[in-house]
Structure 1
Amino acid sequence: MSRKYRRPHTTFVESKELYLRLLKHVRPYWQVFALAILFIVILALTEPAIPILMKPLMDGAFVEKDETYMFWVPIWLLLLFLIRGVSNFISRVAFQWVSGMVVLDLRREMFERILTLPVPFFDAHATGNLIAKVTYDVTQVTTAATRVLIILLRDSLSIVGLLGYMVFLNWRFTLVVSIMLPVMLAFVRFISARMRRSSRELQETMGEMTHALEEATRGNKIVKVYGGENYERRRFFKLANWVRRYRFKLKVADATSVPVVEFIGAIMIAVLIYLGTGQVDNEAMTVGEFTGFFTAMGLLFAPIKRLTAINQPLQTGLAGAESVFNLVDEVPEKDTGTRELTEVKGAVRFEDVGFRYAQAEGDALNGISFSIEPGQSVALVGPSGSGKTTIAALIPRFYEPTSGHIRIDDIPLDEIRLGSLRSQIAYVGQESILFNDSVAANISYGASEPPDRETLEAAARAAHALDFIRELPEGFDTMVGEDGVRLSGGQRQRIAIARALLKDAPILILDEATSALDTVSERHVQAALQNLTRNRTTLIIAHRLSTIENADVIMVVSQGRIVESGAHQELMARGGEYAHLYNNQIVLDEKKVKSESE
């Protein structure tokens, strides 16, 4: 993100709508919320009671020496502060509980939306930014949902009560105080605009810093081997420094507000002392009146300062809410289908299919047409970037074709409900995605009900994985670590094959499932794949052409088009593109074997 970029300022109306939308998430907890509001009101009402007690305390107890006042006023003060303490405790605890529930609901809503977003969204958004939204941005909402509301309600009522009492005592003195309030409000409005902008930029940069940290952590081996430490240091320091700068701007704006408010307050105090001591028109107030007025005015500055200081958490909270709701409002994956697939045979047909990625200048696929019969295996080969993976990604509707149609058993894909479509497809990719859970949980991932141990062992045996699983410290209960780091590449791949076997789907997609393996691991995986592809419609994307010689049909993809198709022997006899690719790979393999033997 360019540091020179600035979004337009959010208007007052937009901020109000944002805050009201945030408060809608409080509605399910209105009873606890109402309890918190009740005790906040009680707390606010006790604020003007303090200066009210000062007048009888000073005039009755100290000046007139009235024993009744001398006895009861201290008791009233104790009761008053007991009520204030209980009200403050209950309101804070209740608000904190509500805010925790709101954050939980928002996190759940964000995560559920992430699960429903289309693949192109993840192509365009960094993982670190999404993580930052769920972990960091949403926590900023709590200040707007609780602390800000507490201060707004409590201190606003306190200010009204204190000003009312001050008017009752001396309206002219109160007018002096009121003249200075608009000056404070104008300054607060100026500071709030800077805080909102800095808060938004801070959150965006936090996402970028999280993403940089995640990449450096996950790619630590590449960083070490290629000497990328200095690059990563510079990148991370640059982002961390911007985080520091934006946070510093927030603190500077916040720190500026307090002394300005205090200085304006000092001006009011000086004027009131001058007036209250009778230096104008010789109209001095009584000791009790002056003490009560001065106490009320002193108590008035605290809520005013808190209302001034509230701009940082308010603007931070609103910026966080804006980030959260932007994610929640993302358009989920389109599911236009209404039909359920039952008794699927597995016939797949592409009819003049074209596709272009967002922001791309040209088509990734153009006029793709072919058919896969039930139980047939079809291999896609060709140079990198030719469109092989794109063809495979269209079948489970990770992307929508820009032209043409795709059918399964003569049913258009867009008429099939997404869940029903994907329940008929199993997938094994080049990089096996394993979760930081047990071996058993990874094999049974997505199963409607946990399979019994016999079923797990049968899937593992067919995947040629049972032997090494039994040798693990806790067998099927062994934790595989993040991305299966505790297993070898071949073991991870066989776990993925066992997962596909357990799903037992009629359509199978193999995306270069053996290209990253050594010879020994590849032999085990190939044997497992023979079990997996049996009696299934299989689309194979192959890097090593020797692994797909037995495919029923081999299609050569080049620049988004199918340029050749047929069986292995047939294509070799033609001497075309496939024969050229195959012979070149054989020569390369022979050179590799020769160099290794030397």
Structure 2
Amino acid sequence: MAKRGHRQTTLRETLPGLRRVVMRMLPYLRQHRMLVAGGSTALVASVLAKLLEPWPLKFVIDHVVQVGDGVAGTGSPFLDGLSLQTLLLVCAVGLVAVIAVRALCEYGAAIAFALAGNRVLTRVRADLFRHLLALPMAFHSRSKTGDLTMRLISDVGILKETAVTAALPLAVNTLILFGMVTVMLVINWQLTLIALMPLPLLWFSSRRTGRKIQTVSRKQRRNEGDMAATAAEIMTAMRTVQALGVEKEIAATFEGDNAKSMKAGVKVKRLSAGLERFVDVLTALSIALILYFGTLFVLDARMTPGDLLVFITYLKNMFRPVRNYAKYVARLSKATAGGERVIELLDTSVTIASTPDAKPAVITKGRIELKDVTFGYEPKSAAVLDAVSTVIEPGQSVVITGSSGTGKSTFVSLLMRLYDPDKGCITIDGTDLRAVELASLRRQISFVPQETLLFRASVRENLALGAGRPLADATIEAAARIANAHEFIMALPDGYETELTERGGTLSAGQRQRIALVRAYLRISPILILDEPTVGLDSANEAAVSDAIWRLAKGRTTLLITHDLRLATKADRVLCLQGGKIADDGKHTDLVKRGGPYARLWAQQRKPGDVLAAE
């Protein structure tokens, strides 16, 4: 018995989940209504053929076997007067025809539902991926990458089980059940009631087992999502894992999660198999009752032997939809659990989005102004930026620095509208960012991240990523020369056509960074943002990247987030953040002379022998 506080979900509570999933899929299914209608029609036709299957046997038993010889007297104007041999031949041909029609209809239904299911699956997955791309950074920072991948690939896949390949066939199986019960009532209502006596016991068992399977399936999907998240995190940090020598500990953790998932899967299979076998036993019990009482009815001439044969055939087929329910209940439960996870993701609101009356962003100068901007990542947490106000003039190069956690990355994240301020506003060329179309705003900002995004494609294709326009080879190569990237690209095996590995693993950090600078140059935007562009580079790569940065900065409003204050010596201005506020603001030389927070950072970083602009 379940303990208090851990009550298992009842069937009545699980049905809304299934209903919610199916209703959410209806708009997608309506786009393929002809396929679904055709598949449903074929299934209904197969039901009718299924109902006709035992009737040729009935005619053989009642009008051939019992008569023995002579002329058929079936009561049908089409069959009366036929010889028994001819009637036997007609029944044999009729049986083959009925089964052939049923097989053809079931084949057509299977193809129609498979096409509709795969098309729905493709559309749902595309919409979910597009929705994921639109969700704000606040959502992605809280989410596990592996779990999101699991929902996108695996959970969307099993939605097909719920919406098409399980729910619709089960609905038609219900038609079979009611159709056969109706015909059985017409043949002999007393015998039908006897046949249905085990059904309450079957309903109780299915309800009890179904809720257990639903509970276990939900837990299994959560375990699989956590396992996928763990695997994704480890794969992206494989270098660190091997360097620390913690492979055994990591493997043990993963194996523990894997074992939990395996146990849940085995439990679902055991429950489902147990329900199927229980249906088999109840079917045998019902057939035994009909065999006993039906034979008595035949002996009393209350029904013919053929009627009894039809009755027993229907009875076996009547329990088959119930047995199919037992077979599908695990799949439906698992699909419902996965479907609820997909719908939860689709229902997550896109809080950073363009308003209906937003206009395309038109940035001509690149003047940036923050007015009393306050922002915190969590509603009750301390503000990362606290009432920050500043103006960055068009064409200025500004270094944003400060100790870790002072809001440097937050500053530029707000500028790109990855987040919105809790208070205050940010304007570019006098226009509030919340009043312009999000996509058009980001297209006019070039961003060079600390970790360069590279795809498994040629160098040329990676360089052109995000340019937003067709690029001639000569244009790409000219940009590569400006970013000090042309020389190392030409040294690659196939030059610009060299295929890069995933995340550019065959390139050095400096080479990857210079590819990012080429992209920024090709974007041709009024505003350039660089996040720690020289971190982790050796002196040669640092010099090449630094030189490229100042070439790219010409004519653009440029923001550099950096701890490397040697870059600050060449910038027009330095903003030093401390405690969520601008603690120092001015030129490098002036701030060093002032002796404030920035001067202390400079003193800590400066090396003996440095001869910089501050001197």
What TM-score comes out, normalization by structure 2 length? 0.91
RMSD: 2.1
Matches within 5 A, 1:336-375: 336=355, 338-342=358-362, 344-358=364-378, 361-375=381-395
- Is the contact between residue 484 and residue 544 of structure 2 (CA under 8 Å) also seen in structure 1? yes
Counterparts of 2:568 and 2:196, CA distance in 1: 85
Matches within 5 A, 1:148-159: 148-159=166-177
Aligned twin of 2:44: 41
SS in 2 for 1:454: helix
Q: Does 1:546 align with 2:566?
A: yes
Aligned twin of 1:404: 424
> 9, 16, 22: which is aligned to 2:19?
16
Q: Does the C-alpha gap of structure 1 residues 144 and 11 become closer, same or farther in structure 2, counting only changes over 3 Å?
A: closer
- Is the contact between residue 8 and residue 212 of structure 2 (CA under 8 Å) also seen in structure 1? no
1:462 CA drift (Å):
0.7
Counterparts of 2:326 and 2:609, CA distance in 1: 73
Q: Does 1:331 align with 2:349?
A: yes
- Is the contact between residue 464 and residue 524 of structure 1 (CA under 8 Å) also seen in structure 2? yes
Aligned twin of 1:245: 263
SS in 2 for 1:159: helix
1:545 CA drift (Å):
1.0
Counterparts of 2:93 and 2:533, CA distance in 1: 81
Matches within 5 A, 1:430-579: 430-579=450-599
Q: Which moved more, 1:581-590 or 1:30-39?
A: 581-590
The letter for the 2-side match of 1:430 is Q
The letter for the 2-side match of 1:222 is T
The percent identity for this pair of structures is 32
> 374, 378, 388: which is aligned to 2:398?
378
Aligned twin of 1:594: none
The letter for the 2-side match of 1:509 is I
Q: Deviations over 1:439-465 (max 9, x none)?
A: 122221123332011111111111111
Q: Does the C-alpha gap of structure 1 residues 537 and 314 become closer, same or farther in structure 2, counting only changes over 3 Å?
A: same
Counterparts of 1:15 and 1:146, CA distance in 2: 13
> 254, 259, 276: which is aligned to 1:236?
254
Counterparts of 1:524 and 1:7, CA distance in 2: 63
Aligned twin of 1:267: 285
- Is the contact between residue 8 and residue 211 of structure 2 (CA under 8 Å) also seen in structure 1? no
SS in 2 for 1:290: helix
SS in 2 for 1:546: coil
Matches within 5 A, 1:105-120: 105-120=123-138
SS in 2 for 1:152: helix
Aligned twin of 1:98: 116
Q: Which moved more, 1:224-233 or 1:180-189?
A: 180-189
Counterparts of 1:307 and 1:502, CA distance in 2: 59
SS in 1 for 2:519: helix
Q: Does the C-alpha gap of structure 1 residues 171 and 146 become closer, same or farther in structure 2, counting only changes over 3 Å?
A: same
- Is the contact between residue 138 and residue 419 of structure 2 (CA under 8 Å) also seen in structure 1? yes
Counterparts of 2:536 and 2:8, CA distance in 1: 44
> 334, 339, 348: which is aligned to 1:321?
339
1:14 CA drift (Å):
4.7
Counterparts of 1:293 and 1:31, CA distance in 2: 36
Aligned twin of 1:292: 310
The letter for the 1-side match of 2:255 is F
Aligned twin of 2:156: 138
The letter for the 2-side match of 1:232 is I
Aligned residues: 587
SS in 2 for 1:544: coil
What TM-score comes out, normalization by structure 1 length? 0.94
- Is the contact between residue 110 and residue 328 of structure 1 (CA under 8 Å) also seen in structure 2? yes
SS in 1 for 2:32: helix
Q: Which moved more, 1:208-217 or 1:132-141?
A: 208-217
Counterparts of 2:112 and 2:341, CA distance in 1: 26
Counterparts of 1:40 and 1:588, CA distance in 2: 85
Q: Does the C-alpha gap of structure 1 residues 165 and 280 become closer, same or farther in structure 2, counting only changes over 3 Å?
A: closer
The letter for the 1-side match of 2:264 is Y
1:286 CA drift (Å):
3.5
Q: Which moved more, 1:50-59 or 1:347-356?
A: 50-59
Q: Which moved more, 1:169-178 or 1:517-526?
A: 169-178
- Is the contact between residue 348 and residue 372 of structure 1 (CA under 8 Å) also seen in structure 2? yes
Aligned twin of 1:258: 276
The letter for the 1-side match of 2:353 is K
Counterparts of 2:329 and 2:246, CA distance in 1: 42
- Residue ranges of structure 2 left out of the alignment (5+ in a row): 69-83, 611-615
SS in 1 for 2:53: helix
Q: Deviations over 1:246-270 (max 9, x none)?
A: 2122212211211111222222122
Q: Which moved more, 1:74-83 or 1:291-300?
A: 291-300
The letter for the 1-side match of 2:405 is G
1:24 CA drift (Å):
2.7
Counterparts of 1:222 and 1:142, CA distance in 2: 39
- Is the contact between residue 465 and residue 495 of structure 1 (CA under 8 Å) also seen in structure 2? yes
